[in-house]
A = this chain, B = another copy of it.
Amino acid sequence: MNNNAIKNDAITSRDADFAQWYTDVCRKAELMDYSSVKGFIIYRPYGYAIWEQIQKYLDDKFKKTGHENVYMPLVIPESLFNKEKEHVEGFAPETLIATIGGKNQLDDRLIIRPTSEVLFCEHYAKIISSYRDLPKKYNQWCSVVRWEKTTRPFLRGSEFLWQEGHTVHATEEEARHETLKMLDIYDGLGKELLAVPFMTGRKTEKEKFAGAKETYSIEALMHDGKALQSGTSHYFGTGFAEAFGMKFQDKDNVLRYVHQTSWGVSTRLIGSIIMVHGDDNGLVLPPYVAPIQIVIIPVQQQKEGVLAKAREIETALSAKGYRVKLDDSDRTPGWKFAEYEMKGVPLRIEIGPRDLEKNVAVLAKRNDGIKHTIAIEELPSQIEPMMKAMHQEMYEHALAHLNGHITEVKTLDELKEVVDHKGGYAKMMWCGDVECENHIKDLTTATARCMPFNQTPFDETCPVCGKKAHKVVLFAKAY
């Protein structure tokens, strides 16, 4: 019996129209809904629960590495926002501004935070005076607002959820170490929780964050061959420190500026999970991030003993700490199969009267559809190895896709072929001039995603200008 058609006939296939497939999955897996304001989405329970798993993973890592959570105001006075020049130029065009409070016109208009650098800077300047006060390593979980013209669920929204870490240190070395350490934690999130391999590296001058000295990023490669920037970590140097007067008396009694970092990931990661792992039946969730890890579907549940056994299995698996759902609603098993496939639940346990006779259950894996018949008493011990294997399979599948889509190019034509047709990254030797970067963007819409940490050269000239090339850079079309 395969009743999937009951629910899934309305999903566009990935190859027919990837963008439409994506929107279909977002809606039909009940991850989100639209609100009446463009670009402000509703994070429905199932979508929000994925974010909660990401939060739990990261918050634990942040705390273990000495970070503390805080909460800064939602609003930034326009006068404060204007203090760091590059920063304000980067964000001003996309701000939402409040001008009326309690029925009165505001003198200093309030910007709804697009990011909170300036708030952290103002606070740090107040509370830091001695080397003893350093480092300060704060993080904040919140939503931010950026007034976007074109929006897509999770990928680009006028409001999104994120965490923003802001740290200040006594030395450049310590701040640089922090910048890379946090990038590493993000990379680990992909490896351990999301089953998403990230390309990591440094952003070009053109692509770096407004106000940062250096920006590093994690980039994921989607099924359609486009890249998705999934997180960033910045080293600020002393730029903001000078603008905001963040100084401290060092051990040698000299007054010095602090060295600063910031880093963040957002609900964009949910988009990453969808587009890396999803298939034509809907979402496919890696087991450790899935809000429901195992769904139990009774077959012929009115038959004696079926529901009782299903509940017994539910209790046994919940007791082991798994996130289990027993669907004993009055829908048909076919409807339920399709529903939880659409929702990407990693493991499905089917149990009916015939299984009951043999004291077995069927365990189906969402990622490859493979079914195993397992003795019921062995279920609790079989879940963990099964989940571990699934996670590994999904990671390796995504890694193979990534590795198969990094193509060394030595000419502009080759680059064009890669980004326009094959998809993925065109790996190119680059002279470092922004003009060449701009030329590629004008020609193809592809952008420099990053300069990977491995900078082994494979050619000598920049294919755009023919000058000496000394940097390895990855170009791709991106979301």
Q: Which of B41, B51, B97 contacts A98 (CB 8 A)?
A: B97
Q: Which of B70, B94, B102, B145 contacts A74 (CB 8 A)?
A: B145
Q: Which of B41, B97, B127, B132 contacts A73 (CB 8 A)?
A: B41
For the complex of A and B, 5 pairs with smallest distance between CB atoms: A40-B73, A45-B68, A102-B147, A43-B71, A97-B100
Q: Quickly give the copy total for this chain.
A: 2
* CB closest residue in chain B, given A41: B73
Contact with B along A84-106 (1 / 0, CB 8 A): 00000000011111111111000
Q: Does residue A315 face the partner (Cβ distance < 8 Å to B)?
A: no
Q: How far is the CA of A80 from the CA of B35 in the complex (A)?
A: 11
Is there an interface contact between B69 and A37, defined as CB atoms closer than 8 Å? no
Is there an interface contact between B33 and A48, defined as CB atoms closer than 8 Å? no
Is there an interface contact between B73 and A44, defined as CB atoms closer than 8 Å? no
Is there an interface contact between B37 and A73, defined as CB atoms closer than 8 Å? yes
Q: Which of B72, B93, B103 contacts A35 (CB 8 A)?
A: B72
Q: How far is the CA of A101 from the CA of B148 in the complex (A)?
A: 9
Q: How far is the CA of A344 from the CA of B421 in the complex (A)?
A: 64
Is there an interface contact between A71 and B48, defined as CB atoms closer than 8 Å? yes
Is there an interface contact between A70 and B98, defined as CB atoms closer than 8 Å? no
Is there an interface contact between B110 and A96, defined as CB atoms closer than 8 Å? yes
* CB closest residue in chain B, given A137: B45
Q: Does residue A49 face the partner (Cβ distance < 8 Å to B)?
A: yes
Q: Give the residues in chain B near A51, CB-CB below 8 Å.
A: 71
Is there an interface contact between A70 and B43, defined as CB atoms closer than 8 Å? yes
Instruction: Take A94-B102, A98-B99, A132-B329 as given contacts and tell me if A123 and B42 are in contact as well, using a CB distance cutoff of 8 Å.
Output: yes
* CB closest residue in chain B, given A143: B74
Is there an interface contact between A36 and B143, defined as CB atoms closer than 8 Å? no
Instruction: Take A98-B99, A102-B147 as given contacts and tell me if A70 and B48 are in contact as well, using a CB distance cutoff of 8 Å.
Output: yes
Is there an interface contact between B35 and A49, defined as CB atoms closer than 8 Å? no
Looking at the assembled complex, report how far the CB atom of A318 sits from the nearest CB atom of chain B, in whole angstroms. Answer: 12
Interface residues of A, dominant DSSP = mixed
* CB closest residue in chain B, given A147: B102
Q: Give the residues in chain B near A33, CB-CB below 8 Å.
A: 123, 126-127
Q: Does residue A122 face the partner (Cβ distance < 8 Å to B)?
A: yes
Q: Give the residues in chain B near A52, CB-CB below 8 Å.
A: 69
Q: How far is the CA of A251 from the CA of B69 in the complex (A)?
A: 48
Q: Give the residues in chain B near A37, CB-CB below 8 Å.
A: 73, 75, 77, 110
Q: How far is the CA of A220 from the CA of B313 in the complex (A)?
A: 44
Looking at the assembled complex, report how far the CB atom of A51 sits from the nearest CB atom of chain B, in whole angstroms. Answer: 8
Q: Does residue A386 face the partner (Cβ distance < 8 Å to B)?
A: no
Q: Give the residues in chain B near A72, CB-CB below 8 Å.
A: 35, 42-43
Q: Does residue A159 face the partner (Cβ distance < 8 Å to B)?
A: yes
Q: Give the residues in chain B near A75, CB-CB below 8 Å.
A: 37, 40, 96, 145, 159
Q: Give the residues in chain B near A36, CB-CB below 8 Å.
A: 77, 80, 122
Q: How far is the CA of A105 from the CA of B329 in the complex (A)?
A: 49
Q: Give the residues in chain B near A132, CB-CB below 8 Å.
A: 329
* CB closest residue in chain B, given A30: B127
Q: Does residue A119 face the partner (Cβ distance < 8 Å to B)?
A: yes
Q: Give the residues in chain B near A100, CB-CB below 8 Å.
A: 95-97, 99, 109
Q: How far is the CA of A41 from the CA of B148 in the complex (A)?
A: 28
Is there an interface contact between B147 and A101, defined as CB atoms closer than 8 Å? yes
* CB closest residue in chain B, given A157: B73
Is there an interface contact between A99 and B101, defined as CB atoms closer than 8 Å? no
Q: How far is the CA of A37 from the CA of B81 in the complex (A)?
A: 12
Q: Which of B143, B149, B329 contacts A102 (CB 8 A)?
A: B149
Q: Does residue A284 face the partner (Cβ distance < 8 Å to B)?
A: no
